[in-house]
A and B are shown apart, each in its own frame.
Chain A
């Protein structure tokens, strides 16, 4: 089984929340080396060469994202996105709670890599425990001279500000996050301009996921080539996959990108005895389901796209033959409708409309005309939205609607069926 321990190394074995334990295991060595020996460009080169891609969901190459910052425009900011709220994802808050210094070191390296002097971490409101743990870690690091002014006497200043959100899925969208961080209503901004040009407080800004930034630590330690050696041709390195659903040992598993779907299910203990595999939602609540024919697909960005879905944030939910897909779809749509900021029409109106219709199906009161409506509206609202939330409403629904039409037909009003 190709389970690896890189970011997850030591978790469950040592008290990594203690800065001394973390440092004994080699922690903050890369941070010290970066400030003492490397230029920001060296860090950028390592990140770029490693092929690291955003682990928050979109999978955008991290080095390229950094390269969009306009040269010589200051101040600029790094924002660490720890609003992890994608249904099925639970890797970032594990890192935050179990190895907060690694998260911090990743942020420090990222900030140095884009040559900024102020970094932010936006922590989801519900992560109270993680927030407290991280605050303590930050205090320890500051006391140890790892954060603050004139670091390692090299004249480099770096401050880190922690911001707790109030618990909204939309604040994980990077511009919604920036608005919320600025104290505004958490709703996505119209793009362009993109954050790299005008982000936090109008300054050039990079927003990176917790896991993305954390991988900078091993990349600097072991080299970009080491990271790039793992994974598939265009999806390099490792990934923490949050496996949940109908498996025997759900949890976070760190694997090389490209591990197959079948292997991932095995890693998580396989299906319960006597159950049949029906589907897996491989990239969080926003992704479409993939099915039996995809079991041997490698779990990477390209293959998942080819299968009609996405790798997303690495939330991997398995469904066996006990699944009520109508209920599951309703559950997800209710979530997206609840979390829609309401700014743009397709997401606001389309989501609530589909929710009402599916609610009737759950109650066995679906109409035959609804079937056509689900297909038509679900398809049409995608691609018309201001941000990705609206485009996330339909994938799961339509994938299971098309695959298991009988489950939906069975929920039609009896009279309608006869007519």
Chain B
């Protein structure tokens, strides 16, 4: 609990002497003796509010029961968290909360994981003196695109209102009316809508705020829970994927994930999960014959793909990796390099760098910044939403936020007080601008956070999905293709027709290329121009690792069976390698390569060409080189047994 240098306070909780840092709240201190104090309004990340009054404890010497959430530990304090008096006080609060709370637990989504249920069981009376009808309030209130609200179930703990203010900096939610007429609403009656709305359904201690996507779908005990890393963006939030009957019904935050998500999820990460079961998913390889696609088998698909690559020889290219797992990105460059292809890049759009080199920091440093420079026109709240919550925290602590054009980034840094801790948030750095920022940052405290448009861009760079051995980068490949100078192009999880700055030139390039292979979940704009479309698995359907904005290697764990038909990109690359009789790395070798490469990240400053990955990162910036894999036991492809089997087979064959 304590770290050196902190002042400690000695007190006794339930007869057990404990020492906790000065300033600790009793509700937190009680956790050291494994005593859970019931709370509704208090939340570790929101702090005390003192509203629900259920966290009552007895402090010896004080006549009245005290609330543990707003009582700071004091030297020599003697606290009883469970005795007759305390239980009676808590019981009274529970009894009052249940005066108007509907007893609709059997149809309530929260049933089974409801704090009101749990504490009523622990402290409640089991019977009621209420002789009058319960108060009626609006039910099924459509709060916005994501949430339905049951005002009758609400215990007015105001967690949602305080989250919206303190964490999301939105202040859309308010308490309306007064007294027992209190209801939760948006201030203007406009739909509740921002990047983080779903969190209020999680912190709601009762079944008042429910997600539209999960409402009436399941009971918590029927869900199969897997912890994984969200791959919708590059923040690296840890999340639970809750699966029932082959469908991800919901994703939930991981309470102790202070390092990445700070226990929040964005709405994209939380709600963008329905596509896995979409009927529009491609489930069989498609090959263009004449003007139309025909369905073919995987054997034929591999034959065709290999045949075209053989014909193209070195005059081929591959783009992808930013949406793949590290293992896949590694194998992608490994297989293509082995067959003589040098034109490799993860970037289908802008030619930007995703690794900040040694100037990268962890999210705690962003939180502690005095000045945050947001460079460029893209919104970090959209590119890396949960990371932006740290910037909001910094702002609350007094940090200045500067939104500037990329060209002004260096100038802005130079204008900030020399002793300030500066964080720069960017969506990608090019060589020229990066150099100017690096010069401005020289000798100062500047950490960089690059929220790239692709979630594993940094991992792809680390795995070698860059033209580091004389090949063409993505933009050059499209240029060459447009001139008819590229014979074959393999695209993995990229949709340049949609995402490139100039879709028409990409379209022209793809049309002018003899053979285009696209690996995708859906028939994207790019896939429609391909000769061969291979159905791919999504992130919930495969295991491996990803590298996030802060350069950490994080485990992605499969939680879902894919529909029959699609293969992971790893499996596709193995199939292709078989066609060329390539020797593949063993699973252990693959693991080792991924870990080694992700650790020897690019250590130059902004603007240095990335292609010369130098000594390992710790050698240059003095950081420890512990394997940066979170959640022990996770982290490699070895966790997906199907992949293991396939790999073994391939290697042995």
Cβ-defined contact, B50 with A384, below 8 A: no
Nearest-neighbour CB distance to chain B for A198, whole angstroms, equals: 14
Q: Which residues of B contact A349 (CB under 8 A)?
A: 96-97, 99-100, 180
Chain B interface mostly: loop
- Given the complex of chains A and B, what is the CA–CA distance between A346 and B67 in angstroms? 13
Cβ-defined contact, A352 with B179, below 8 A: yes
Residue of B89, B175, B178 with most partner-chain A CB within 10 A:
B178
Residue B408 at the A interface, CB < 8 A?
A: no
Residue B374 at the A interface, CB < 8 A?
A: no
Given A349-B96, A353-B99, also A338-B179 (CB < 8 A): yes
Given A344-B53, A346-B53, A352-B179, also A384-B65 (CB < 8 A): yes
- Given the complex of chains A and B, what is the CA–CA distance between A339 and B177 in angstroms? 11
Cβ-defined contact, A344 with B51, below 8 A: yes
Residue A278 at the B interface, CB < 8 A?
A: no
Cβ-defined contact, A190 with B53, below 8 A: no
Q: Which residues of A contact B179 (CB under 8 A)?
A: 337-342, 348, 351-352
Question: Taking CB as reference atom, which chain B residue is nearest A337?
Answer: B179
Residue A357 at the B interface, CB < 8 A?
A: yes
Residue of A338, A353, A357, A380 with most partner-chain B CB within 10 A:
A353
Given A190-B70, A337-B179, also A345-B131 (CB < 8 A): no
Residue B49 at the A interface, CB < 8 A?
A: yes
Q: Which residues of B contact A185 (CB under 8 A)?
A: 174-175
Cβ-defined contact, B51 with A345, below 8 A: yes
- Given the complex of chains A and B, what is the CA–CA distance between A385 and B174 in angstroms? 21
Nearest-neighbour CB distance to chain B for A201, whole angstroms, equals: 16
Given A190-B48, A345-B54, A370-B131, also A350-B96 (CB < 8 A): yes
Interface residue total, chain A, C-beta cutoff 8 A: 36
Residue A356 at the B interface, CB < 8 A?
A: yes
Residue A373 at the B interface, CB < 8 A?
A: yes
Q: Which residues of A contact B51 (CB under 8 A)?
A: 343-345, 386
- Given the complex of chains A and B, what is the CA–CA distance between A338 and B178 in angstroms? 8
Given A340-B179, A345-B155, A348-B182, also A384-B92 (CB < 8 A): yes
Cβ-defined contact, A385 with B131, below 8 A: no
Chain A interface mostly: helix
Question: Taking CB as reference atom, which chain B residue is nearest A339?
Answer: B179
Question: Taking CB as reference atom, which chain B residue is nearest A338?
Answer: B179
Question: Taking CB as reference atom, which chain A residue is nearest B88?
Answer: A380
Residue A332 at the B interface, CB < 8 A?
A: no
Given A349-B100, A352-B179, also A344-B48 (CB < 8 A): no
Residue A369 at the B interface, CB < 8 A?
A: yes
Q: Which residues of B contact A352 (CB under 8 A)?
A: 99-100, 135, 179-180
Cβ-defined contact, A344 with B50, below 8 A: yes
Residue A72 at the B interface, CB < 8 A?
A: no
Q: Which residues of B contact A385 (CB under 8 A)?
A: 53
B39-60 toward A: CB 8 Å interface, digit per residue (1/0)? 0000000001111111010000
Residue B513 at the A interface, CB < 8 A?
A: no
Cβ-defined contact, B180 with A345, below 8 A: no
Residue A75 at the B interface, CB < 8 A?
A: no
Question: Taking CB as reference atom, which chain A residue is nearest B178?
Answer: A342
User: Which A308-341 residues have C-beta < 8 A from chain B?
Assistant: 337-341
Nearest-neighbour CB distance to chain A for B74, whole angstroms, equals: 12
Residue A383 at the B interface, CB < 8 A?
A: yes
Cβ-defined contact, B135 with A369, below 8 A: no
- Given the complex of chains A and B, what is the CA–CA distance between A369 and B180 in angstroms? 23
Q: Which residues of A contact B50 (CB under 8 A)?
A: 190, 344, 386
User: Which A367-386 residues have C-beta < 8 A from chain B?
Assistant: 367, 369-370, 372-373, 376-377, 380-381, 383-386
Q: Which residues of A contact B307 (CB under 8 A)?
A: none
B306-330 toward A: CB 8 Å interface, digit per residue (1/0)? 0000000000000000000000000
Cβ-defined contact, B175 with A342, below 8 A: yes
Q: Which residues of A contact B594 (CB under 8 A)?
A: none
Residue A65 at the B interface, CB < 8 A?
A: no
Nearest-neighbour CB distance to chain A for B617, whole angstroms, equals: 43
Question: Taking CB as reference atom, which chain A residue is nearest B89?
Answer: A384
Residues of A that sit less than 8 Å from B by CB? 168, 185, 190, 192, 337-346, 348-353, 356-357, 360, 367, 369-370, 372-373, 376-377, 380-381, 383-386
13 extra interchain contacts, Cβ-Cβ under 8 A, other than A339-B179, A377-B92? A168-B178, A190-B70, A338-B178, A341-B179, A345-B51, A346-B53, A349-B97, A352-B99, A357-B131, A369-B129, A370-B129, A384-B56, A386-B53
3 smallest CB-CB distances across A and B, nearest first, come from: A190-B50, A349-B96, A352-B180
Residues of B that sit less than 8 Å from A by CB? 48-54, 56, 64-65, 70, 88-89, 92-93, 95-97, 99-100, 129-132, 135, 155-156, 158, 174-175, 177-182
